[in-house]
Amino acid sequence: MQSKIDSLRVEIEEALKGDVNREAFKAAREKYLSKKGIVPSLMTELRNFSPEERPVMGKLINEFKVWAEARFDEVEEGIKKAELEKKNSAEAVDVTMPGIRNNTGALHPITLVKKELIDILSGLGFEIFEGPEIETDYYNFTALNVPKDHPARDAQDTFYFSDDILLRTHTSPGQIRTMLSKKPPIKVIVPGRVFRCDDDATHTPMFHQMEGLLVDKNITLCHLYGMLDRLAKSLFSDDVKTRLRPSYFPFTEPSVEVDVTCCECGGSGCGLCKGTGWIEVLGAGMVNRNVLIECGLDPEEYSGFAFGIGLDRIAMLKYGMNNIHILFDNDIRTLKQFKKHDK
């Protein structure tokens, strides 16, 4: 029996030798280890032995069977491992190939700037009001302390529909509409489209502004500066410096321009800021008493400040565009760039 087992052991090793494939392996396993296979069949030979010898032989056969099963398992493990490796390598990808994704679009740069300003100012307690784009002379001029013969009406080359109805030349009518509809404290911003008869390299007949208005008791120029300094820092960076300088708008008194240190050169002077180190970003001032009176507010009780920002100009400054017309060309190669923006 021992010799038979030994020769079977050699036979099995022979069958499992080398890169045995799964089919040959299965056949060999079937041949040796299935119920009626050669190894289990050895048990049937026990009857040829005497009862004294049978336990010894039985043990020999069992040990051999355990060995054979372990041997087959071991080889099968190897086969599985080889198969997995083959599969893995077949499935391997070039990780540097482009990812597959849905193409996304983007919001327009003016919308991005507008949203950013709204986020900053709504955080400071301003609500958002949107007035009509076609306005009356009263809201656009008269109530804003721009009487009929005022030269400012010329500067603002207005599109008219009739003597009294026009395309708003600024978002300032929003100040009047707000003050007529609610009592102070007022903190409101008015973003929107505005229109002027101008179409050249640096002007478009339509552009965008955002008006701001704050009215309460004891508001001073210091508060105006504090708010607009904060706004400029949030919009550009905490490093920018701001300054006020005298200006004129009929609806504010005193009136100022707010300049920020040039975002391109940081204030040392460059082409963008024409060597001055400063860039004009918005106009502002203390609400003119005539405007308060027109809106039924007593200028001895209330004061406030207003400001106006050109959204197109801010977009051009922030994104480094040198021509306002780019904003209205809507070329997809431009628009695609705004998938990424900082805020």
Partner 1 sequence: MKAPLSWLKDYVDIDIPVSELEKKLFDGGLEVEELIYLGKEISRCVVGVITAMEKHADSDHLQICKLDCGDEYGREIQIVTGADNVFVGAHVPVALDNSTLAGGVKIKKGKLRGVESNGMLCSGEELGITDDMYPGADVYGILILPEDTVPGTDIKEVVGLDDYIFDIGVTANRPDCQSIIGIAREIAAILGKKVKEPALDFNAVKEANDEAIKVSVEAGDICPRYIAHFVKDVKIEKSPQWMRKRLFLNGLNSINNIVDITNFILLELGQPMHAFDLTTLEDKTIVVRRAKDKEKITTLDEKEFELTENNLVICDSKKPVALAGIMGGLNSEIKDNTENVLFESAKFARDSVRKTSRALGQTSDSSLKFGKGVDEYTTEMAMKRALHLIDELGAGTVAETHFDISNGDKSVRTIKTTFAKINGVLGIEVPKETIVDILTRLEFNLEVNGEEISATAPLYREDVYSYEDLAEEVIRLYGYDHIPASKLDTAEVTDGGLNLGQKLEYKMKNALAKQGVFETVNFSFYSTKDLDMLHYAEDAEERNAIRILNPITENYSIMCTTLAPVMVNTIVRNYRNGNKSGRFFELAHVFKSEEASLTKLPEEIMTLSLGAYGDDENFFTVKGILEGMAEEFGLKLEFIKSEKSFLHPGMTADILVNGEVVGFMGRLSHQVEEELVLGKPSFVAEINYDMLKQHFGVSMKYVPISQFDEVERDFALICDENVTCGEIESTMRKACKYITEVNLFDVFRSEKLGVGKKSMAFNVIFTPEDKELSAKEMDKFTTKILKDLEFKLGIQLR
Nearer to partner 1, 132 or 320 (CB): 132
Nearest to 263 by CA among 235, 244, 230, 243: 235
Site stretch for partner 1 (CB under 8 A), options 39-47, 48-56, 69-77, 105-113: 105-113
Q: Does 201 bind partner 1 (CB under 8 A)?
A: no
- 13-27 burial by CB neighbour count: b if 16+ within 10 A, else e? eebbeeebeeeebee
Q: Does 202 bind partner 1 (CB under 8 A)?
A: no
Among 190, 244, 263, 279, binds partner 1 (CB under 8 A): 244
Write the CB contacts of 283 (distance below 8 Å, at least 6 apart in sequence). Answer: 247, 249, 255, 256, 257, 258, 307, 308
Nearest to 217 by CA among 292, 147, 280: 292
Nearer to partner 1, 55 or 132 (CB): 132
Among 262, 288, 318, 324, binds partner 1 (CB under 8 A): 288
Rounded to whole angstroms, the Cα distance separating 304 from 284 reads 11
Q: Does 103 bind partner 1 (CB under 8 A)?
A: yes
Site stretch for partner 1 (CB under 8 A), options 29-37, 74-82, 83-91, 251-259: 251-259
Nearer to partner 1, 71 or 108 (CB): 108
* Burial class (CB within 10 angstroms; exposed 0-12, middle 13-18, buried 19+) of 260: buried
Among 4, 31, 71, 289, binds partner 1 (CB under 8 A): 289
Least Cβ distance, residue 181 to partner 1 (angstroms) = 14
Phi/psi at 305 (nearest 5 deg)? -130, 155
H/E segment holding residue 258 = strand 252-261
- Whats the size of the chain, residue-wise? 343
For residues 46 and 57, the answer to whether their CB atoms sit within 8 Å is yes
Q: Does 133 bind partner 1 (CB under 8 A)?
A: yes
Write the CB contacts of 147 (distance below 8 Å, at least 6 apart in sequence). Answer: 141
Among 90, 322, 332, 340, binds partner 1 (CB under 8 A): 332
Q: Does 319 bind partner 1 (CB under 8 A)?
A: no
Rounded to whole angstroms, the Cα distance separating 341 from 337 reads 8
Site stretch for partner 1 (CB under 8 A), options 6-14, 56-64, 77-85, 243-251: 243-251
Among 9, 71, 193, 341, binds partner 1 (CB under 8 A): 193
Asked if omega into 254 is within 30° of 0 (cis), the reply is yes
Site stretch for partner 1 (CB under 8 A), options 55-63, 68-76, 225-233, 261-269: 225-233
Site stretch for partner 1 (CB under 8 A), options 26-34, 41-49, 50-58, 195-203: 195-203
Of residues 54-83, those binding partner 1 (CB under 8 A): none
